[in-house]
Structure 1
Amino acid sequence: MNKYKLLVLILFCAVSLSAQKKLSLEQAIEIGLEKNYSLQVVRQSEKIADLNNTWGNAGQYPKLEFNFRSNNTKDYNETDDFRQNILSPSVDLSWTLFDGFSVRIRKDKFNDLAALSKGNTIVAVESQIELIILAYYKTLMEQQRLDVNRSIKALSEDRYENEKIASELGTKGSYELLLAKNAFLEDKAKYLTQQVIYNNSVRDLNFLLGVEESTQYIFTDDFMTSLADFRLADLLDKMLANNNNLKNRYMQEAVQKRDIELARSNFYPRISLATGVQGNKFLKKPDVAPKIDTKSHNLYANLSLNYLIFNGNSNRRALQIAKIEEEISKIETADLKHSLTNILAQNYELYELRKDLLELAEENKLATEMNLQISKEKYEAGSINSFNYRDVQISYQNASLARLTAIFNLIQSKTSLIRMTGGILSEF
């Protein structure tokens, strides 16, 4: 019976492993950039900006219309009732020849808006890459936390089994057995809780990737990052030159300048051309007199000039408001630059601190691991009691978990610095 159970367990594990997909960080980013819902929305907005960016939308081309009117009358009078029908088809063309250079200005503004939309897409892609990187490594961290809890649970279980054997043989009392059982149950509860945390981290990663939440993976990247020797001055130069949030602010300033140019164009005269051909068919049917049926057509070409003299200073106010909005845009750019500089300095200092903390965590983990091995041997030999051995177990567990947290924190700081300096697209 045990052989059958073992065979079923082996087959179940084989099926589970075959259902899992191998996933590297590079593959995760590729999937996320293709399927993430937020990025799909941003890309659709970019398409709208491209569709708006045409000379026709800016007003460069004439408007051609076909019009048709039919007027029908039935007249009742004392002399002679009649019916009258007038048909007037026409083809009309209207074209604004000059309106203060606003056509060119609108087209330039559409160019800027299209570039701004592409910049927004780049910022969204950068943000998504950063989120995927952190979600991927967070999942690896929770997976390794699960391994640590599993190993501690195994140690507690071995200790509990040994205490049960010793209690049955009468070499130890029930007090040590209860202590071992409590430690085992506590470690098992921690392991089960960590299992849920790991499963949720996988679900969060799947959501960012835009795939089914039940998808399982075999992660192929190591949970570690290379250490970099950054210089704050170099990071600052890169940020000011390459940060895409800052580039978007500069583009928004350009859009505000176009609004000032459009407001100025209202002070120029407007020259328009209207031309077309119109046909007329007149039909009158009196009840007594002979009917009248005439047809005619005419061509027209009209040139008009309009110059606004006064409209309650509305155009002047619009120009003043546009200038104020440009000043607001410049202030917002300066504020963003100052904010980014401040955040960069904080992240740089935090990165340097976290490098030192990781080194300390590595040393602490190695020391507690060695202490655990020695304490296990001493406990089995009876040189130390269960209280001391349990304290060593907890110290090793805490040191191992602290090391994993230190690695993740370092990855987080490094990723943030790379993104702020505009290098995340080239790095990943």
Structure 2
Amino acid sequence: MIKLLLLFTLFQPGDTVLTEEKAIELALKNNFDIRLEKYNLEVAENNNTIGNAGMLPTIGVSGSGRQTIQDTEQQFINGEGQSRDGAKTTVYSAGASLDWTLFDGFKMFATKDRLEEISKLNQMAFKNQVQNALSDVLKAFYNTALEQERLALLESTLKLSEERVTISKEKYEVGKASKLEYLQAQVDYNSDQSALVRQQEIIAIQKLQLLQLIGVQEGYDSFELSYTHESSELLKDLSNIETEAIQQNPMLRQLRSQQEVSMLTIKENERERLPTLDFNLGYNYSNLSAEAGFLQSNISSGVTYGLTATMTIFDGMNRNRSIQNAKIQSEQSYTAYEQGEAQLRTSVRSGILTLQNAQTLANLEQKNLAVAEENVSIALERYRVGKSNPIEIREAQNNAVDAQIRYIEALNTIKIAEIELLRLTGGLLQD
């Protein structure tokens, strides 16, 4: 339905028309839920490195310098002695070290696989959030459009009531109608005006909510929606839509990825039972100078290296406990996937029924609307020539309004059902 071709023909302050495409572009850029989820994705991608998996060495450098001042009284074995006040001893040292785990039971590879899967998991979470945000925006867009349709309908009704007031006034002035009839026409006209004012308030609130979803805060006080109720090409064939949802739904794919993370966590914990082998390499330099003692100066430097093998024999059964917990979490993620799949199938089937029922209703209401509009036209003409009463024309007017409302509500239901089905199948955003 919507391709991610970010040309960003953005809705600027002062624009008077907001299209579906502009609303989507704004939401992709400014929607708070999308922006917040993007941070989680960036963190997961930053964590997906071989260094975080433990495959790279650790290199460090150190240096120090210290000086001591002491009063000394020394007696040597040969009978000689030495006494110094305020004797200074200065020591400088520096070193560099490299520590590298050469083998850890292949845990580092399992960790890297887990980090890779977590990155995929967050990608699915991000796509799911984008789908949900776009769904909310589009639903708010078309619900606002529905209220815009209601407003146009009320404006048309008000014009008809105004015409009725004019006719009744003319008839009253020439003595062909009572004042009661004229006053009743005015009452109905005032009632229609009140309904129009209430509808204007509803639209204003709906527009504010829409602007909040697309991430626009200020500078968009007045605009109209431009839209169509054309059906999506992606929903022409409903026979395979459930299969497509199982394969492509971002939330379900996220649950699949969570399963894989759980399995890799088990593997990661199991490999901690194996021994580890570390390589150590170091270089040290030391420079000592003293005003008292056997050594007046001592300079040393050299390289140290070696291998260290370690293996935990017993850790209070903590490793077994961690593996058992990881297996429980794996079973939990599998159950969550089964639950998600069942919920998805129910949602898709319900959505298809809603869509098909709304399409049937729209066809029926379209026929009813044509009859109701013709009835209003006939009733108004009969009233104009004095062959009907105010009750008859008001009833015809109300019937036409109700038919129009039912028709536009059916069209809106079709659109909302399509948006929901596209969300469930992952079709709102085509990469």
TM-score normalised per structure 1: 0.89
Alpha-carbon distance in structure 2 between the residues aligned to 1:290 and 1:322: 61
Q: Residue in 2 aligned with 1:242?
A: 248
- Structure 2 residue corresponding to 1:180, chosen from 160, 182, 185: 185
Cα gap change, 1:244 to 1:92, in 2 (>3 Å)? same
Name the amino acid aligned to 2:184.
L
Q: Residue in 1 aligned with 2:10?
A: none
Cα gap change, 1:415 to 1:159, in 2 (>3 Å)? same
Alpha-carbon deviations, 1:249-297, whole Å to 9, x = none? 11111111111011111101011111111111112224xx798122111
Alpha-carbon deviations, 1:67-106, whole Å to 9, x = none? 1133433333554343323222111111111111121111
Alpha-carbon distance in structure 2 between the residues aligned to 1:281 and 1:77: 21
Q: 2:167, 2:384 within 8 Å by CA — same for their partners in 1?
A: no
CA RMSD between the two structures: 2.2
Name the amino acid aligned to 2:259.
E
Contiguous gaps of at least 5 residues in structure 2: 1-12, 74-82
Q: Residue in 2 aligned with 1:257?
A: 263
1:116 is paired with a residue of what secondary structure?
Answer: helix
Q: 1:207, 1:213 within 8 Å by CA — same for their partners in 2?
A: no
Q: 2:232, 2:418 within 8 Å by CA — same for their partners in 1?
A: no
Alpha-carbon deviations, 1:217-275, whole Å to 9, x = none? 4544324536965445x222212222221111111111111110111111010111111
Q: Residue in 2 aligned with 1:194?
A: 199
1:68 pairs with 2:68: no
- Structure 2 residue corresponding to 1:209, chosen from 214, 223, 245: 214
Alpha-carbon distance in structure 2 between the residues aligned to 1:375 and 1:226: 39
1:47 pairs with 2:52: no
Alignment of 1:146-185 (within 5 A): 146-185=151-190
Q: Residue in 2 aligned with 1:418?
A: 422
Name the amino acid aligned to 1:199.
A
1:425 is paired with a residue of what secondary structure?
Answer: coil
Q: Residue in 1 aligned with 2:6?
A: none
Q: Residue in 2 aligned with 1:5?
A: none
Alpha-carbon distance in structure 2 between the residues aligned to 1:163 and 1:344: 54
Alpha-carbon distance in structure 2 between the residues aligned to 1:275 and 1:224: 70
Alpha-carbon deviations, 1:39-61, whole Å to 9, x = none? 12222322222211111121111
Q: Residue in 2 aligned with 1:14?
A: none
1:76 is paired with a residue of what secondary structure?
Answer: strand
Deviates more, 1:234-243 or 1:185-194: 234-243
Q: Residue in 1 aligned with 2:80?
A: none
Alpha-carbon deviations, 1:156-197, whole Å to 9, x = none? 122223333444444433322221121111100111111122
Alpha-carbon distance in structure 2 between the residues aligned to 1:44 and 1:129: 18
Could you tell me how far 1:115 is from its partner in structure 2?
1.1
Across the two proteins, how many residue pairs are aligned to each other?
407
Cα gap change, 1:411 to 1:314, in 2 (>3 Å)? same
TM-score normalised per structure 2: 0.88
Name the amino acid aligned to 1:386.
P
Could you tell me how far 1:35 is from its partner in structure 2?
2.4
Q: Residue in 2 aligned with 1:100?
A: 105
Q: 1:141, 1:223 within 8 Å by CA — same for their partners in 2?
A: no
Q: 2:99, 2:280 within 8 Å by CA — same for their partners in 1?
A: yes
Alpha-carbon distance in structure 2 between the residues aligned to 1:339 and 1:291: 82
Q: 1:152, 1:187 within 8 Å by CA — same for their partners in 2?
A: yes
Could you tell me how far 1:38 is from its partner in structure 2?
1.9
- Structure 1 residue corresponding to 2:273, chosen from 259, 267, 274: 267
- Structure 1 residue corresponding to 2:127, chosen from 122, 126, 147: 122
Alignment of 1:299-378 (within 5 A): 299-378=303-382
Q: Percent identity?
A: 25
Q: 2:168, 2:185 within 8 Å by CA — same for their partners in 1?
A: yes
Q: 1:137, 1:223 within 8 Å by CA — same for their partners in 2?
A: no
